[in-house]
Amino acid sequence: MEPHKTSVQRASFYLLLALVTVAFSLLLLPFYTAILWAVILAIVFHPVQLFLVRRLNGRQGVAALMSVVMCICLVIVPVLIILASIAQEGTSLYQQVSSEEFDLRGRVAQITSAVPSFIEQWTPIKLGNFPDLRDKFSGALVQASQSMAGRVVNVGETTLSFFIGSGVMLYLLFFLFRDGEKLVATIRKALPLSDDYSSQFLEKFTSVINATVRGNIIIAIIQGTIGGVTFWALGIEAALLWGVVMTFFSMLPAIGAAFVWGPAALVLIFSGAWLKGVILVLVGLLIIGLIDNLLRPPLVGKDAKLPDYVVLVSTVGGMALFGINGFIVGPLIAAMFISVWSLFASEPDQ
């Protein structure tokens, strides 16, 4: 009876452990974004925390507080400024698209009328019914522009939730800075894996976070900033908004910022502003296009780099499931998938 009783008790304990874990996860679910970014910032700024601890003779609390202040200055404040500017530009763009002031069909007609006849002859699309195609194209652009602008306007409506989430994130971030190493040791001990597997798993987790943030996000921000400044210098409306859009597309392999500046350059050229269009193409090819090749190797390295097709599929899938956080969560899940299966494949046959 004793072995049977022991097995029943163990099964009951595992069931209780699973139920309590699920219940606690549901409690944290409303703040998963704040928790996710607290963990990300704690990992990215961990070298800074270690440096401050050494300089302050081991005073973890003071170093953690200084690290949090640094995160506020370098991350939170710039994000707030950008969100406020995007909301303002998005509101203006939405009002223009919704009113008669912005005649999109007229602009499309102006652009298409400037298309040379030889392009119409050699294009694989028969343009005999071009007015119908133009109306469909312009109608799709109107719907897409209104949808995008409407979503941007909603940024201003989420300010309160942003501040609440930021407060939770900063509060948690302080304790991650102060007690992060103890927490990692506890997690490593609790994982039902060998010490070697636990170390490899946590090391892969950390390397992917660093690679995604330092590589994809920082490089994308630089590319989007250059694109936005170029748009502003060329007099294109809502330059900051388009810069943010370029930042998002820059995180996607095989797509990049050219998905935004390429059509913009064509619009400028076919609208008659060919000099501005050529300048935008040169900036896009010679500056924005080369930044990835120049900065990614020193920022990311080779060990944590995922194949481009894996990054693309996991990022798009992550965004579909988790929203904007999918830029981080998608590649992270993909990296964990590859890491776990690599560990499994490396096991000797039993």
Determine contact, residues 172/41, Cβ cutoff 8 Å.
no
Sign of the dihedral defined by the CA atoms of residues 274, 275, 276, 281, in that order: positive
Q: What pLDDT does 262 receive? A: 85
Q: How far apart are CA 127 and CA 120, in angstroms?
A: 6
Divide the 350 residues of the chain into consecutive groups of 10 and give the mean pLDDT of each group: 66 86 87 86 87 88 92 84 72 63 54 51 48 52 52 52 82 90 80 72 74 75 88 84 83 76 84 85 86 69 64 81 80 80 68
Query: Nearest to residue 67, comparing CAs of 190, 141, 142, 173?
Result: 173
Q: What pLDDT does 96 receive? A: 62
* Distances in whole angstroms, Cα of residue 206 to Cα of each of 91, 152, 212, 349: 39, 32, 10, 29
Sign of the dihedral defined by the CA atoms of residues 319, 216, 169, 80, in that order: negative
pLDDT single digits (tens) 105-123: 555 555 555 555 544 454 4
